[in-house]
């Protein structure tokens, strides 16, 4: 059973008179333990597809399933719960909260949750990405690569099954990008994650178990 599954998914944006079919009948699935990269030209619908998998957006057509459950018609609150428990996000520009320390940023997804204490898990994750000595630094005291590692630790704090990354190395230089991808690959194996990463970058393709190419909202494998 695939942890992520898209069936005939379409996404149409209607802004005024303009109608854009960002995705057209996309079928896609991913298993735990594999890294899939999505490539394709700019505007081909990569981010749109990742947002649909990440339950940040709703498809206009087709079905989205997570962990074997059809989540297409979930309401906003159910989507939030699903994001919290099953999904981790890494963004191109890190999106750390500037007033929180590294460890607090990692704890952020569970900060309001009184039922669990993720502090130990947060510290452990930061150690595993090599930031054991940067726990109490704030984002402006960290380099780009370090910030992205904090973001990766944050995405994993709630023990998700799927890690979604939209151009995680897009703001980093070649070498730093490489180490980040090493990190993601290692964590993928340790935590048995399905990693779905978007990239323009041929470098990232080397790390992938599988590459999906999107052109004009259609998948080409």
Partner 1 sequence: MAWRNLGRNRLRTALAALGIVIGVVAICSLGMATVALEQQATAQLGDLTNEVTVSSGADSDTDGVTGEQVEEMRAIVTDARVIPQKTNATTLEARNGMEARMSVTGVTDASALYDLTEGEAPERLQSGALISNATADRLGLESGDPVEYDGRIYRIRGFIESEHSFGFGGGDLVIPVSGLADQRHYDTVTIIAADGDAAGRIGDRLDTRFNTEEDEELRVTTFGNRAQVGGFLDTLSLALLGIGGISLVVASVAILNVMLMSTVERRGEIGVLRAVGIRRGEVLRMILTEATLLGALGGLVGALVSLATGMVLFHVITGDATGALGWASSRYLAYGFGFAVAASVLSGVYPAWKAANESPVEALRG
Ligand X SMILES: Nc1ncnc2c1ncn2[C@@H]1O[C@H](COP(=O)(O)OP(=O)(O)OP(=O)(O)O)[C@@H](O)[C@H]1O
Binding site for Mg ion (CB under 5 A): 47
∠ Cα 4 152 196 (to 5°)? 25
Place of tokens 């309401």: 75
Q: Which residues bind ligand X (CB under 6 A)?
A: 13, 15, 20, 22, 40, 42-48
Least Å distance, CB 206 to partner 1, is 28
Least Å distance, CB 216 to Mg ion, is 14
Window of 7-15, 60-68, 89-97, 114-122 that interacts with partner 1 by CB under 8 A:
89-97
Contact 44, 11 (CB under 8 A): no
Contact 88, 100 (CB under 8 A): no
Backbone torsions φ then ψ of 215, nearest 5 degrees: -135, 120
Contact 145, 179 (CB under 8 A): yes
State in Å, rounded, how far the first CA of the chain is from the last one: 20
Among 100, 135, 211, 218, binds partner 1 (CB under 8 A): 100
Place of tokens 């399933």: 65
Least Å distance, CB 132 to ligand X, is 34
Q: Is residue 61 a contact point for partner 1 (CB under 8 A)?
A: no
**What is the binding site for partner 1 (CB under 8 A)?**
51, 54, 56-57, 76-77, 80-81, 83-85, 87-89, 91, 95, 97-100, 108-109, 111-112, 154-155, 158
């Amino acid at each position: 059973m695939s942890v992520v599954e898209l069936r005939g998914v379409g996404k149409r944006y209607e802004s005024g008179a303009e109608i854009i079919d960002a995705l057209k009948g996309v079928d896609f699935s991913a298993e735990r333990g594999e890294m899939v990269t999505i490539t394709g030209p700019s505007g081909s619908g990569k981010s749109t597809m990742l947002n649909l998998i990440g339950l940040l957006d709703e498809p206009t057509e087709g079905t989205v399933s997570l962990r074997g459950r059809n989540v297409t018609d979930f309401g906003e609150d159910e989507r939030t719960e699903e994001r919290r428990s099953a999904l981790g996000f890494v963004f191109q520009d890190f999106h750390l909260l500037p007033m929180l320390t590294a460890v607090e940023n990692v704890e952020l997804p569970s900060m309001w949750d009184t039922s669990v204490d993720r502090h130990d898990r947060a510290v452990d994750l930061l150690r595993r990405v090599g930031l054991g000595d940067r726990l109490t630094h704030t984002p402006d005291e960290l380099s780009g690569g370090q910030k992205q590692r904090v973001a990766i630790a944050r995405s994993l704090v709630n023990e998700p099954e799927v890690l979604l990354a939209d151009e995680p190395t897009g703001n980093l230089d070649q070498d730093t990008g490489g180490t980040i991808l090493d990190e993601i690959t290692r964590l993928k194996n340790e935590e048995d994650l399905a990693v779905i990463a978007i990239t323009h970058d041929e470098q990232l393709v080397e790390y992938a178990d599988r590459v999906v190419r999107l052109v004009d909202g259609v998948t080409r494998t």
